[in-house]
């Protein structure tokens, strides 16, 4: 039997009792096409990125670095799932101003 555990808090997930949330993140680098007099350039740039991604999937080559394309997958317990949704991009906590207790 496959045992799942939460990737965040490492808690074991009981398939009989615990809901397991699967988070799939796909990250790909996009570059806005440089402004150019030639209108057709827009399509070409998009196509190139697409081709690069497809190539990397086919060959699993090392030519595409992690900074261009990544696919991540996490198993989360319900608690960690809720926390993840509150801050999916991992931003720094916001400082609160003006409410000091002095
Ligand atoms: Zn968890």
Q: What is the pLDDT of residues 16-68, one digit of tens each?
A: 899 999 999 999 998 888 776 655 555 566 666 667 666 555 555 555 677 88
Question: What separation in Å is there between the alpha carbon of 12 and the centre of ligand 1?
Answer: 8
Could you tell me if 45 and 33 are in contact, meaning their C-beta atoms sit under 8 angstroms apart? yes
Six-digit token pair at 36? 């150019």
> Distance, CA 79 to ligand 1 centroid (Å)?
6
Tokens representing residue 58 in the block: 């086919």
Q: pLDDT grade, residue 76 (50/70/90)?
A: very high
pLDDT digits (tens, 9 = 90+) for 78-97: 999 999 999 998 888 777 66
Distance from C-alpha of 24 to C-alpha of 38, rounded to nearest angstrom: 37
| Three-state SS at 52 | helix
Q: What is the pTM of this model?
A: 0.56
Residue 93 to residues 31, 81, 86, 96, Cα–Cα distance (Å) = 28, 18, 11, 9
pLDDT of 56:
54
* Protein residues with C-beta less than 5 angstroms from the ion ligand 1: 6, 8-9, 11, 77, 80
Residues 21 and 7: their CA atoms lie apart, in Å, by 10
How far, in Å, from the CA of 29 to the mean position of ligand 1? 29
């Amino acid at each position: 039997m496959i045992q799942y555990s939460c990737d965040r808090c490492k808690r074991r997930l009981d398939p009989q009792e615990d809901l397991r949330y699967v988070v799939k993140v796909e990250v790909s680098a996009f570059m806005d096409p440089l402004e150019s007099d030639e209108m057709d350039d827009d399509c070409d740039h998009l196509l190139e990125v697409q081709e690069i991604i497809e190539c990397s999937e086919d060959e699993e080559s090392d030519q595409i670095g992690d900074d261009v394309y990544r696919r991540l997958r996490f198993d989360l317990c319900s608690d960690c799932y809720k926390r993840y949704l509150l801050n999916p991009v991992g931003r720094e906590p916001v400082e609160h101003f003006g409410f000091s207790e002095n």
